[in-house]
Amino acid sequence: MHELSIATAIIEQADARARADGTDAVSTVTVRVGELAGIVPDALTFAFEVARDGTALAGASLVVEQIPAQAYCGPCAEEFAVGMPPFFWCPRCDRPSTELRSGRELEITGIQ
C-alpha cells in the first residue's frame, strides 16, 4: 500500500511547515490529489490516520481535494475531462490530445 509512504511524507512535510510557522498544534491538513496521481483518497485518509500516531500531527485530520484530470485540445482551444481510466481524445473535434493540464497533483495546500 503506497498510500502509507505518501501519508508519512505528508505528515513529515506538514510537521516541518507547522514548526517553521511557529504552530505547535495542527488540526487539519489539506492536500490536492489529481485523478491520475494513482492515489485512492479513502486509502490515503486511512493511511494518514495510522501514520499520524506518535507524531506532532496525532490530533490532525486529513482533507483530500480531488482534482479532475483535464487535457487541452489545441484546435478547440479548450480543456476537456479525460476521465478515469484516462482517454485523451477531444470530445468536440474527435482528435487526440497529448497535453495533460491537470490530474497528476499531489501537494499540501493547507495546514491549520
> In the bound complex, what is the minimum distance in angstroms from residue 68's beta carbon to Zn ion?
17
From CA 41, how far away is CA 65, in angstroms rounded? 9
102 with 67: CB under 8 angstroms? yes
Asked whether position 73 contacts Zn ion by CB under 5 A, the answer is yes
Copy the grid coordinates of residue 22. 511557529
User: What distance in Å separates the CA atoms of residue 37 and residue 66, rounded to the nearest whole number?
Assistant: 10
Q: Identify which range of 12-20, 40-48, 49-57, 75-83 contacts Zn ion by CB under 5 A.
A: 75-83
Q: Which of 92, 101, 109, 110 binds Zn ion (CB under 5 A)?
A: 92
In the complex, the residues that contact Zn ion under the rule CB under 5 A are: 73, 75-76, 90, 92-93
Binding-site positions for Ni(2+): 2
